[in-house]
Amino acid sequence: MAESPRQRRVADRIREVVAQMAGGRIKDPRLGFITVTEVRVTGDLHHATVFYTVLGDEAAAEATAAALNSAKGLIRSEVGKVLGLRLTPSLDFQLDQLPAGAHRIEEALARAAARDAELAARAAGAQYAGEADPYRRPAEAEGDADVDDDAGAGLARGRFYFGDGAPQRADGPAAGGGDDVA
């Protein structure tokens, strides 16, 4: 379902407040260098999910999650003061998996590019299994010098090519429209 403009404004404001709080007011040493990537608010504005990323390894992410959960009450009270809503939304902090997913996609694209380069290198020295042009061309009649190699040009002049490669007129006796009188 689409987000209302009010939900977007509240989510943006919560994102700003949480980022400011994490940057200066929360003094927990477990809190690593975090970036608040997104905030999603329910339609009734009672619950907000804050997505964040942490610079560092898995241990830094776990320590930051513990620090955010311990400071959840302080952050929620500051959000309530800034928003001025009748009910302050409850906060839930989720580690954003987007950077890890993007990294996996980049690795898959790099592997695909390497395979494409390998295939192109193998195809560079390859030759055709048969002739270079596998399509049959109509043979020129020895007595008819104005017959083109292109069958499409013959069709434009009313000529049809049959299995033996010799041109036949569409208005000839075989077509039933000739000058033969019975």
Would 20 be classed as within a structural domain?
yes
Domain with 55, as residue range(s), is 5-98
Cα(71)–Cα(51) distance, rounded to whole angstroms? 15
Whole-number Cα distances in Å, 54 to 1, 103, 145, 149, 182: 29, 15, 80, 70, 97
pTM of this structure: 0.57
Provide the domain count of the chain. Answer: 1
> The CATH number of the domain where 36 resides is what?
3.30.300.20
Residue 33 lies in a domain: yes
- Output the tens digit of pLDDT for each of the chain's 182 residues: 568 888 999 999 999 999 888 888 888 788 888 889 999 999 998 999 999 988 888 888 888 889 888 889 899 999 999 988 888 899 999 988 877 788 889 999 999 999 999 988 888 877 777 777 778 777 765 555 554 455 455 445 555 555 565 556 555 555 554 454 54
User: Does residue 131 sit within a domain?
Assistant: no
